[in-house]
Structure 1
Amino acid sequence: MSREKDGGTDAPEGRPRGGLSARDLAVLALERQSWPGPGAKERAVRERLGITPTRYYQLLNVLLDDPRALAHDPVTVNRLRRLREERRERR
């Protein structure tokens, strides 16, 4: 994958300098929504993002550790971080 320099840091192609990609923003937007029942969210992931739910959750977990995602949507990111930590503690 090619990279471009941005003030001394590498930024992957398709990602605005210093910001989140359109896909990252779409993932966070899906997480802000509430879902009526099982399967609705997974269906939305496939239709809106064109990726599998497994890939979606992989991307989401990376986003939860990204300070840019926290700056963009602190309420959603902090809520999801708490849920992730609770699941880890139960294991």
Structure 2
Amino acid sequence: MTSGTQDPDASRDAPPAEAPGPAEASAGLSARDEAVLAVERRSWPGPGPKERAIREQLGISPTRYYQLLNALLDDPHALAHDPVTVNRLRRVRDARRARR
């Protein structure tokens, strides 16, 4: 090899230039997980319309929805995808735990 040429395999062994951004980090979430966060992001006038939307849009029961949502609060991919919603829900969860 001459001094003016580069080894074509050298770039494969190099570390990535920077950490993945939010778009790449959210790749770890399923479409259902993203839909759960989208439902939670909305403002609801009461529990009835929200439960109806959960059943119609996600096709799951509200109980299952809250189980999935609670698991998402501890998922770093969910935090990267929607930090405002996840941090708000973490604060609410922590406040409820502190009251017990």
The reply to whether TM is greater than 0.5 is yes
Once the two structures are TM-superposed, the CA of residue 38 in structure 1 deviates from its matched residue by: 2.8
Q: Tell me the TM-score normalised to structure 1 length.
A: 0.78
Once the two structures are TM-superposed, the CA of residue 79 in structure 1 deviates from its matched residue by: 0.2
Consecutive unaligned residues of structure 2, counting only runs of 5 or more, are: 1-25
The CA RMSD measured in Å over matched residues stands at 1.3
Q: Distance in 1 between matches of 2:76 and 2:92?
A: 18
Work out whether 1:36 is the aligned partner of 2:60: no
The structure showing larger relative contact order (alpha-carbon pairs under 8 Å, at least 6 residues apart) is 2
Q: Tell me the TM-score normalised to structure 2 length.
A: 0.72
Consecutive unaligned residues of structure 1, counting only runs of 5 or more, are: 1-16
The number of equivalent residue pairs is: 75
- Larger strand proportion of the pair: 1
- Larger helix proportion of the pair: 2
Q: Over alpha carbons, which structure has the higher Rg?
A: 2
Alignment partner, residue 76 of structure 1: 85
Alignment partner, residue 87 of structure 1: 96
- Cα shift readout 1:47-79 (whole Å, capped 9, x = no counterpart): 100100000000000000000000000000000
Q: Distance in 1 between matches of 2:45 and 2:91?
A: 22
Once the two structures are TM-superposed, the CA of residue 36 in structure 1 deviates from its matched residue by: 1.6
Please identify runs of 4+ aligned residues in structure 1 that moved more than 3 A.
Answer: none
